[in-house]
């Protein structure tokens, strides 16, 4: 005996239920009467039944089993225009073959979980989850109004083997957008679409040239601000080059001195609190005069 209300979908009558270890499969039909008019020509009350077809829809899992619902869907034919069409299905999204309530669940779940795991959990294929998610994102984007920030931040994040372009509102410490790529064309086209671009006063960025180029061409009035971290970092990069260049034509002992404890060179002198570290630094400065000079220049550059 199948409980009449087991699906909690009042527009459908359950005809049959099959159960396996992980799945329920219902067979249902609608309780509502067939449509009164032809959706193709608009003729009223001149239709007749023209066969049925089982169509599968997925629903929210029940009792830790995935739920599939076969709807025995009525096809109608119009005497006037000979057009055929299926009956309307309440509670179902006929494009995505899921119930409306499962659709809502998938939208939220796919914000947190992978498409594959959502698909696996409810029984639909991964592509359906992806499509529902993409529609949902477009829907959210259409509802959300982004205000162009006064202080715009252009940055990147390394995701799935690629640098992704990240746009931030520096003043309000929030991420506005993430794009797949960060090349100049992408940045230019993104900036060009921003509303009220005149309101941007400052653009914070690292030293990635395409950002500078794009900002200069789209918002030339904005001042570019580079975090000093990106500037002083260059001094350490040069110091490293000199350290590595020194490796040629040196004795084994000198080689060892160059390769070990590189951090004593890269740290600021005032941050080198350990006395042993201070000795290690002095040894290297005394042993390699060029490296010593480079170290002092690095320290002076940081002081600026």
Q: What is the binding site for Zn ion (CB under 5 A)?
A: 38, 40-41, 43, 78, 80-81, 83
Question: In terms of CB distance, is 54 or 82 closer to Zn ion?
Answer: 82
The Cα–Cα gap between 9 and 61 comes to: 14
| Minimum CB–partner distance for residue 68 and Zn ion (Å) | 33
Is residue 79 classed exposed, middle or buried when 0-12, 13-18 and 19+ CB atoms within 10 A define those classes? Answer: exposed
The Cα–Cα gap between 76 and 85 comes to: 5
Q: Can you state the angle between helices 289-303 and 228-245, rounded to 10 degrees? A: 180
| Minimum CB–partner distance for residue 74 and Zn ion (Å) | 16
Question: In terms of CB distance, is 15 or 41 closer to Zn ion?
Answer: 41
| Minimum CB–partner distance for residue 80 and Zn ion (Å) | 5
Quickly count: other Cβ atoms within 10 Å of residue 224's Cβ. Answer: 14
| Minimum CB–partner distance for residue 84 and Zn ion (Å) | 9
| Minimum CB–partner distance for residue 54 and Zn ion (Å) | 25
Query: Which residue(s) pair with 167 in the sheet?
Result: 154, 177
Query: Which residue(s) pair with 55 in the sheet?
Result: 71
Question: In terms of CB distance, is 81 or 157 closer to Zn ion?
Answer: 81
Question: In terms of CB distance, is 61 or 83 closer to Zn ion?
Answer: 83
Q: Where are the alpha helices (DSSP H) in 181-251?
A: 184-193, 209-218, 228-245
Question: In terms of CB distance, is 42 or 213 closer to Zn ion?
Answer: 42
């Amino acid at each position: 005996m199948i409980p009449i209300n087991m699906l909690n979908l009042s527009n459908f009558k359950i005809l049959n239920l099959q159960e396996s270890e992980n799945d329920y499969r219902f067979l249902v039909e609608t309780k509502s009467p067939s449509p009164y008019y032809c959706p193709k020509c608009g003729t009223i009350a001149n239709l007749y039944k023209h066969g049925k077809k089982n169509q599968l829809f997925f629903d929210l899992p029940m009792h830790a089993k995935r739920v599939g619902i076969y709807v025995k869907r009525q096809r109608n034919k119009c005497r006037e225009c000979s057009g055929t069409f299926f009956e309307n299905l309440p509670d179902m999204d006929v494009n995505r073959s899921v119930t409306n309530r499962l659709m809502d669940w998938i939208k939220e779940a796919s914000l947190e979980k992978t498409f594959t795991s959502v698909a696996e959990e409810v029984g639909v294929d991964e592509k359906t989850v992806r499509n529902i998610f993409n529609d949902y994102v477009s829907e959210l984007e259409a509802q959300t109004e982004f205000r162009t920030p006064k202080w715009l931040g252009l940055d990147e994040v390394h995701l799935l083997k690629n640098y992704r372009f990240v746009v931030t509102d520096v003043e309000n410490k929030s991420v506005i957008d993430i794009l797949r790529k960060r090349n100049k064309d992408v940045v230019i086209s993104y900036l060009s679409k921003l509303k009220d671009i005149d309101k941007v006063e400052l653009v914070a960025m690292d030293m990635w040239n395409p950002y500078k180029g794009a900002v200069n061409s789209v918002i030339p009035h904005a001042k570019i601000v580079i975090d000093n971290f990106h500037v002083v970092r260059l001094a350490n990069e040069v110091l490293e080059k000199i350290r590595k260049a020194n490796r040629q034509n040196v004795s084994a002992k000198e080689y060892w001195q160059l390769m070990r404890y590189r951090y004593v060179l890269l740290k600021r002198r005032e941050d080198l609190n350990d006395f042993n570290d201070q000795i290690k630094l002095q040894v290297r400065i005394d042993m390699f005069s060029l490296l010593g000079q480079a170290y002092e220049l690095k320290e002076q550059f940081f002081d600026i």
